[in-house]
């Protein structure tokens, strides 16, 4: 049933009045001799200090800058990839204070004083990390775009299992968690490989897991 006409007119009058008052507050008053200026609340940029791959980095950045963009554009650490930029593919995975994070979803200014590890901090060409070596051995990549995030996550997955942190597929929460295919697949599900090298990635992670056992 439609509202009474009288109510509709009152509602419309209220809305129009609110819009008019808002507009008047944002523009100069004619003849008043005073001009209103709309000023931003707070600063638009901030200075931050991060420890990245063991080195202290001091930056002055726009407050809207994501950690991913700060790493890539400001620090030129381009190993961390921008894939979906929506936290769905895992290509931007980095370690922050020992935990894996999608850096595209986190603002850089949130990480003042944090310790961040990117793929550049994991092994070298001359001294590969065991996970990097396993990915090479088992051909755990094709185009390689997602590989930095895959390796970063894979190392964290093994640490999480050893620490006894359960996943969605963990059956017995009172027993030690084992390195099963199901556990690894579930924990790596946030890292997408467009090339479909999942079986080889699983083989690489399993080999490193077995070497830790």
How confident is the prediction along the chain (213 residues), in pLDDT tens digits per residue?
A: 555 545 444 555 544 455 444 444 444 444 444 444 443 556 799 999 999 999 999 999 999 999 999 999 999 999 999 999 999 999 999 999 999 999 999 999 999 999 999 999 999 999 999 999 999 999 999 999 999 999 999 999 999 999 999 999 999 999 999 999 999 999 999 999 999 999 999 999 999 999 987
Question: Would 177 be classed as within a structural domain?
Answer: yes
Question: Would 67 be classed as within a structural domain?
Answer: yes
Question: Would 28 be classed as within a structural domain?
Answer: no
The owner of tokens 């931050």 is 48
Query: Where does the chain show beta strands of DSSP type E?
Result: 45-52, 55-62, 93-96, 99-102, 115-117
pLDDT tens by residue, 159-201: 999 999 999 999 999 999 999 999 999 999 999 999 999 999 9
Select from 86, 121, 156 the last residue of a domain. Answer: 121
pLDDT given for residue 27 in this prediction: 41
Distance, in Å, from the CA atom of 203 to the CA atom of 181, rounded to the nearest integer, reads 9
- The domain of 70 spans 45-121
Residues with Cβ within 8 Å of residue 17, at least 6 apart in sequence: none
59 SS3 class:
strand
Distance, in Å, from the CA atom of 93 to the CA atom of 110, rounded to the nearest integer, reads 16
CATH number of the domain within which 187 lies: 1.10.150.120
138 and 107 assigned to the same domain: no
Return the half-sphere exposure (C-beta side, CA atoms, 13 A cut-off) of residue 120: 14
pLDDT given for residue 83 in this prediction: 96
Is the C-alpha dihedral spanning 63, 64, 65, 67 positive or negative? positive
Distance, in Å, from the CA atom of 40 to the CA atom of 43, rounded to the nearest integer, reads 8
91 and 149 assigned to the same domain: no
pTM over 0.75: yes
Question: Would 31 be classed as within a structural domain?
Answer: no
43 SS3 class:
coil
Both tokens assigned to 169: 């597929």
Return the half-sphere exposure (C-beta side, CA atoms, 13 A cut-off) of residue 5: 0
């Amino acid at each position: 049933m439609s509202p009474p006409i009288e109510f509709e007119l009152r509602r419309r009058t209220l809305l129009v009045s609110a819009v008019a008052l808002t507009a008047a507050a944002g523009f100069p008053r004619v003849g008043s001799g005073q001009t209103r200026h709309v000023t931003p609340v707070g600063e638009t940029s901030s200075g931050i200090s991060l420890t990245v791959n063991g080195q202290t980095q001091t930056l002055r950045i726009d407050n809207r800058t994501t950690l991913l963009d700060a790493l890539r554009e400001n620090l030129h650490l381009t190993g961390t990839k921008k894939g979906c930029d929506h936290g769905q593919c895992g290509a931007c995975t980095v370690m922050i204070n020992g935990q894996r994070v999608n850096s595209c979803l986190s603002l850089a200014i949130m990480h003042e004083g944090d310790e961040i590890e990117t793929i550049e901090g994991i092994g070298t060409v001359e001294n590969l990390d065991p996970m990097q070596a396993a990915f090479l051995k088992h051909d755990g990549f094709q185009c390689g775009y997602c590989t930095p995030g895959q390796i970063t996550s894979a190392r964290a997955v093994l640490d999480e299992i050893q620490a006894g942190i359960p996943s969605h597929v963990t059956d017995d929460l009172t027993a030690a968690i084992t390195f099963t295919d199901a556990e690894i697949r579930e924990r790596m599900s946030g890292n997408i490989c467009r090339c479909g090298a999942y079986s080889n990635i699983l083989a690489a992670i399993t080999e490193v897991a077995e070497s830790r056992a």
